Amino acid sequence: MQFKKKAFTFIELIIVIIITAILSAIWYVSYEWYASQARDSRRVSDISDIKKSLWFYYMENSIYPLPDQWKEALYEWELLWTQWFVWDTVVRKLSKNLNMMAGIKS
C-alpha cells in the first residue's frame, strides 16, 4: 500500500500568495479612490453649507459678517495688491524690453 500525502506544493502556495497580493493591491487602489471622492464630496458640501449660512446672514442683517481680526485681513489684501502691482510692473517692463530686442514696436 502506497501512502500519499495530501498537501499543497510550494508552487501552489506561491501562486495563491501572488493572486492574493494582486487582489489586495486592486482593493487598496480602489479604496483610496473612493476615499478621496468621499473627502472631495464632503468639502463641496461644507462649502455649500457655508455659502447658505452666509446668504441667510446677509438676508437677515443686510451685511456680510466681518472676520474677527479684520485689520489683519485688510493688511493681507493690501499686501496682495502690492505684490500684484509689482508683478504687473515687472511683466510690462520685461515684455517691453523683449519686444525692443526682437524689433517689435508696441
**Is a pLDDT exceeding 70 seen at residue 18?**
yes
Domain boundaries, the chain: 8-65, 68-106
Using CA atoms, how far apart are residues 82 and 77, in angstroms rounded to an integer?
Answer: 9
Give pLDDT, residue 52.
92
Residues 80-92 as b/e (b if ≥16 CB within 10 A, e otherwise) read eeeeeeeeeeeee
pTM score of the predicted model: 0.42
Give pLDDT, residue 75.
62
Confidence class for position 1, pLDDT limits 50, 70, 90: low
Q: For 27-82, write each residue's pLDDT tens digit.
A: 888 888 888 888 888 988 998 898 999 899 999 998 888 766 666 556 677 777 77
Give pLDDT, residue 63.
87
- CA-derived radius of gyration, the chain: 32
Confidence class for position 105, pLDDT limits 50, 70, 90: low
Give pLDDT, residue 81.
77
